[in-house]
Amino acid sequence: MTTEIDRREFMKMLGVGGVIFISSLNGQPGLSLPIRKTQDFFFVQLSDSHWGFEGDKINPDAKGTLIKAVKEVNSLKQKPDFVVFTGDLTQTTDDTNVRKKRMKEFQQIVSELDSKVVRFMPGEHDASLDNGETYKDFFGDTHYTFDHKGVHFIAIDNVSDPTGSIGDAQLEWLKADLAQQKLDANIVVLTHRPLFDLYPQWDWATRDGAKAIDLLMPFQNVTVFYGHIHQENHHMTGHIAHHSAKSLMLPMPPAGSMPKRQPIPWSATEPYKGLGFRNVLSKSKRDEYQLNEYPINAEAKV
């Protein structure tokens, strides 16, 4: 079962300029569940910075937007426990030397983030042309797990295979990892492409994503954060919530709203429209995630 969430029911405007979206761990907003052995914490999700992209009609500040995002994250009143990039850190290139240069520049820019821990994931632009080899030299493994304050995070790579697949070997790895978790464990999945068929007509899907969802389905508290589609989207597959993030380079239109999958042109009257990042608050006592959406702005302050 898949369900689009009616955002109007859940969104509230904040006085500090962000937009809040509440997502409970079991996908039932507002439902109170027993308190688990978790602690409140923040993390920031940034995505699709496409460093190296050029196109003034789409983003005349292509060399400045990521830098502004870093400054904005650093201006958050509450420091995040960690920052995660969910893929497409760089714009793809056939030239390995250019790819290395872009990844190095990206690394230098995000090293300014005021966060002790910054985690990375590849997108197809980073990894699909060389099966993630260059990416791994700079950022390490393309799939991994870590635990933070009672939440088990699983980073799934669905881009190193250029067919947009997770692959049997990684699915076995996922199965083995989940076998170590209790059914009521708090699980967050980080990935690049949507695991569900959001809009296959625009390649917004993972070819074997349904297999990953099947493995996750027995677990009561699963939330997925991903990128790739360059806009917010909130979707349910059964009790599993999926939240996509905005891009830091070029916004895309809603699925199927235009004949072709093309970036939304830059608006001189509304610069940076559609670009942004999110801050995720894990609220242990209410078993929910509170999502704060922050737009990029010329002042580079939230």
Partner 1 sequence: MTIGKILLTALAIATCSAPVNGADAPQVIKISAKRFEYTPHEIVLKKGVPTVLQLTTEDRSHGFNIPAMNLRADIVPGNVTELKVTPEKAGDFDFFCDIFCGSGHEGMSGKITVKD
Q: Interface residues with partner 1 (CB under 8 A)? A: 91-94, 124, 128-129, 159, 162-164, 200-203, 207, 260-262
Residue number, 198 or 291, with CB nearest to partner 1:
198
First-residue to last-residue Cα distance in the chain:
37
Residue number, 218 or 265, with CB nearest to partner 1:
265
Structure tokens at 253: 């239109």
Rounded Cα distance, 69 and 127, in Å: 23
Rounded Cα distance, 292 and 290, in Å: 7
Q: What's the angle, vertex CA 62, arms to CA 56 and CA 64, rounded to 5?
A: 135
CB of 129 to partner 1, least distance (A): 7
Residue number, 91 or 244, with CB nearest to partner 1:
91
Rounded Cα distance, 87 and 107, in Å: 13
Rounded Cα distance, 171 and 210, in Å: 11
Residue number, 88 or 287, with CB nearest to partner 1:
88
Report whether 2 contacts 235 (CB < 8 A). Answer: yes
Residue number, 33 or 129, with CB nearest to partner 1:
129
For the chain, how long is the longest CA-to-CA vector?
53
CB of 132 to partner 1, least distance (A): 12
Residue number, 239 or 261, with CB nearest to partner 1:
261
Report whether 156 contacts 191 (CB < 8 A). Answer: yes
CB of 289 to partner 1, least distance (A): 30
CB of 56 to partner 1, least distance (A): 17
CB of 193 to partner 1, least distance (A): 10
Residue number, 6 or 94, with CB nearest to partner 1:
94
Report whether 274 contacts 246 (CB < 8 A). Answer: yes
CB of 219 to partner 1, least distance (A): 29
Q: CA torsion 172→150→277→200, rounded to 10°?
A: 30
For residue 290, the tally of other CB atoms under 10 A from its CB is: 19
Residue number, 40 or 168, with CB nearest to partner 1:
168
Structure tokens at 219: 């677990």
CB of 94 to partner 1, least distance (A): 6
Rounded Cα distance, 30 and 22, in Å: 8
**């799934």: which residue's tokens?**
156
